[in-house]
Amino acid sequence: MALLDALLCCLLAVGHCRPALGLPLAPADGRSPAPAVGQFWHVTDLHLDATYHITDDRTKVCASSKGQKASNPGPFGDVMCDSPYHLILSAFDFIKNSEQESSFMIWTGDSPPHVPVHKLSTDTVINVIANMTTTVRSLFPNLQVFPALGNHDYWPQDQLPTGTSKVYNAVANLWKPWLDEEAIRTLRKGGFYSQKVSTNLNLRIISLNTNLYYGPDIVTLNKTDPANQFEWLENTLNISQQNKEKVYIIAHVPVGYLPYSMSTTAMREYYNEKLIGIFRKYSNVIAGQFYGHTHRDSIMVLSDKKGNPINSLFVAPAVTPVKSVVEKQTNNPGIRLFQYDPRDYKLLDMLQYYLNLTDANLKGESNWKLEYILTQTYDIEDLQPKSLYGLAKQFAILDSKKFIKYYNYFFVSYDSSVICNEKCKAFQICAVMNLDHNSYVDCLKQYYVRHNI
């Protein structure tokens, strides 16, 4: 089936193909309690593959397997494939039927599939984003949603430009219902924006286009401030500081170091250092940071130059379960709910939900479940930098049971037998606690010496 035809089928299917759901999360009497806390959802990396279909030829189940055999395809997908529409709809249906009161949703990018460049086009990419936007708006007509662009939300992928483009214009039009005129203006110009939350007027969302800083983006090579986003970010944070607002930063490509490889930043190192400097300067304004891109579940703690924890960062796992043929591990599909104090927007807790893909395919129904509640599973007070820093210190202890849990959740409970050796653990711990070059290098050195790696 051609990709565009398949997309049209998906779009027409909104409202007509509800998969079975897990139990609702609200009290049995149907009344939601008055929220003592504020809540918002975070979804990321949907990666719709509209070509997904069950067929005897395993190499032709989905375009995103790139000719490799699907391993065990079922109605909700396969680990060699990006998300079928059925899987994405099951995630949003679960959110809708959870009866959790939420103030807003953040959606941190990557709607199109991982397919060769010639299989897509600018129009196809726009159609995929439009399809996902229509799905979200139809299911959540009264919810404010804050999207961020991902590196796949462009054609060719990764090559996001520093000025206006067909894609930036298209998403500005698609996302108009959620954003004000100034946000739409900067979105058209550079793929980023800031916007107040309509239900919490002292809270501002800053949606960054960190894809401009991503290594494969040749458009931005040797540019010191692509699209003038750094200058705009500093100005926006400065005004928020003056107006006594709090800010949540959302973006696709995260700052810091990748926890699964040595000395590798998710974005170019120069841009990473620049962002870290800005985030340190305005850490009293920034109440939380939220990213996607890696498809894994991880935390980071930003410290000041003296080593004091000053900011909490969260990388959410993907909805897509896709992996390459050489990878042993992947993730189960995941979505999450954050809880915050509505008075000062401090992050209090996070509830991670997941779909056991193998189980869902066997039973033919999507039973999304609570995987863990962050404060309860790690026995910490809240999601403040000091709490997360203390937790990271506990991870570093030899044979830490908390770290074993963390590493299982890193893959969204895909394989509980997975083992992280000392070198693996060094990369994980140093990535959690050290976001800038100097402190990260020092961390690795100390870890290697201490553990004789």
Q: How far is CA 302 from CA 14, 21, 121, 351, 384, in A?
A: 41, 38, 38, 22, 11
| Percent of the chain residues past pLDDT 70, beyond the cut | 92
Q: How confident is the model at residue 4 (pLDDT cuts 50, 70, 90)?
A: very low
**Tokens standing for residue 56:** 């005897």
Placement of tokens 């696709």 in the chain: 252
Q: How confident is the model at residue 67 (pLDDT cuts 50, 70, 90)?
A: very high
How far apart CA 231 and CA 222 sit, in angstroms, is 17
pTM: 0.93
Predicted pLDDT of residue 269: 98
pLDDT surpassing 90 at residue 12: no
* pLDDT tens digits for range 268-296: 999 999 999 999 999 999 999 999 999 99
Predicted pLDDT of residue 450: 78
pLDDT surpassing 70 at residue 28: no
Backbone angles phi, psi at 448, to 5 degrees: -65, -40
